[in-house]
């Protein structure tokens, strides 16, 4: 019988993504335009950001913790969206 906890042993918790309509619009735009922005694990509680665009991949020099990782991912998505939305 389980302990009643819903969290699995060793499960990774990246925190809450939050919900902002504009963030998700920018995220979807990036996906549709072949710009992949996501997390790359450093440890169970720290992640780098990987950005793949036009065949090149960039990894952030800094790692980010729980929930902050989502804020940074969406920040990059908004950057690419705003910079390029009228070009493609």
Domain regions of the chain by residue span = 34-84
User: Which residue in 56, 53, 51, 59 sits closest to 76, CA to CA?
Assistant: 51
Top-confidence residue, 45 or 19: 45
- Asked whether residue 19 carries a pLDDT value surpassing 80, the answer given is no
- Asked whether residue 1 carries a pLDDT value surpassing 70, the answer given is no
Kindly report, residue by residue over 22-75, the tens digit of the pLDDT: 999 999 999 999 999 999 999 889 999 999 998 999 999 999 999 899 999 999
Whole-structure pTM value: 0.79
């Amino acid at each position: 019988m389980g302990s009643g906890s819903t969290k699995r042993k060793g499960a990774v918790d990246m925190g809450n993504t939050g919900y902002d309509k504009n963030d998700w619009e920018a995220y979807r735009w990036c996906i549709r335009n072949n710009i992949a922005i996501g997390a790359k694990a450093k440890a169970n509680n720290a992640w780098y950001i990987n950005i793949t665009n036009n065949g090149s991949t960039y990894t952030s020099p800094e790692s980010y913790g729980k929930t902050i990782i989502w804020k940074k991912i969406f920040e990059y998505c908004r950057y690419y969206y705003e910079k390029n939305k009228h070009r493609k």
